[in-house]
Amino acid sequence: MELDYFPLESLPLESLPDDVVAQIEVRDRWRRATAAGGLEFLVTDIGRWPLGKTVRVAFLDGSDQLHADIAGATKQITDACNLTLDFGRDDGAGTFRRWTTSDTVLAAEIRVSFDMQGFFSLVGTDSTDSAIGAGGGPVGGNPGQRSLNLGRFTTNRPAQWEGTVRHEFLHALGFHHSHQNMRGTCEGEFRWEDEVGYVPTLAPDGSFVPDSQGRLPGIYTFLAGEPNKWPRAKVDHNLRTADAPDLVAGPFDTKSVMLYRFPGFFYKSNPSSCAPAGNGQNLSDGDKRGLDLLYPHTMGALAERQDRADAVLESLGAGPEGAPGANGGDLAEVYRSRVEELAAAQAAGFR
């Protein structure tokens, strides 16, 4: 997502509510402990939508024109994968599907809002996981909760808004941030701590700025100020790669729309190997390969996924023909449905 247009003193980073993050972390720790060696593909596959599925999208607020613009911006995504995003467009009336906070059944798998601060999205099928946001609140996987938010779009759309839309919708289809790719350099390139001797200095708006000697705050200090006010643990969750079950679909891609464009002082070197090389607007070739990995178009790619799926299921303690293993529990049962889906697609000749 392109972030250079934000002044440094008002750089809001993408972030889910703390209670939602806590619920996801508990679930992911259990998956890691259960899945062992099959972790990477397991989390990817459980988090994606079924092959060829039509995923419904609905809007809480905003105008029909805004909805049309967002639907148009996602075409790059659906052109690159075997999945359909259905916005419920009524061509005659020019309207799109809507949802409300009082819904008791899901109006759509992806529920978009524009009324909360910042940009965020649940990842993949977390958007319909009733355990996420089960305690109530505005964000979660339940019918009356937001799963994707594009703050300010109704009043002050960002200059490069298409890239932001594609970034958030890639999250909704199962993608994670590129700066958290363990094959990348960002962990070592980020300047986490203050420059030696930095004296904490606040601007009038509450953001941390260089001190009187020009020494810079580190990432931890900067993000502790306005508008983010993140504690260290939240910085680690959103920026570090350690202890993260994130999808690594391929080599680190500096042109991906999933790579943040951070302020220059976030990096130790200039130019930084972690900095984006793309325009932040259009899908990179790597983004398209990732989409084809998750939602393949060809029989060959599908067969490869089937082989990997069988191997992961066996790692859970159950062969393709067996019952879910004791160590796998419900996770193996959920994963089995993914394996059966792949097999059924192959038997049907795919498309």
Per-residue pLDDT of the chain (351 residues; tens, 9 = 90+): 222 222 333 445 666 777 777 667 666 665 555 554 444 443 455 678 887 789 999 999 999 999 999 999 999 999 999 899 999 999 999 999 999 999 999 999 999 999 998 889 998 888 998 989 988 899 999 999 999 999 989 998 988 899 999 999 999 998 887 787 767 788 899 999 999 999 999 999 888 999 999 999 999 999 998 888 888 888 888 888 744 433 444 678 889 888 888 888 999 998 899 888 888 889 999 889 888 878 887 666 666 666 666 665 565 554 444 444 334 445 556 556 665 666 666 566 555
Which has the closest alpha carbon to 262: 178, 153, 154, 168? 178
Q: How many residues does the chain have?
A: 351
In the sheet that 54-59 helps form, which strands lie side by side, from edge to edge? 84-86, 54-59, 110-113, 148-150, 119-121
pTM: 0.79
Angle of helix 329-347 relative to helix 299-315, nearest 10 degrees? 160
Distance CA 341, CA 335 (A): 10
Domain ranges in the chain are: 53-175, 296-347
* Residue 319: predicted pLDDT: 45
Instruction: Report pLDDT for 140.
Output: 95
**Helices and strands (H and E) in the chain: how many:** 11, 5
- What type of residue sits at position 28? D
Give the separation between CA 119 and CA 165, rounded to whole angstroms.
9
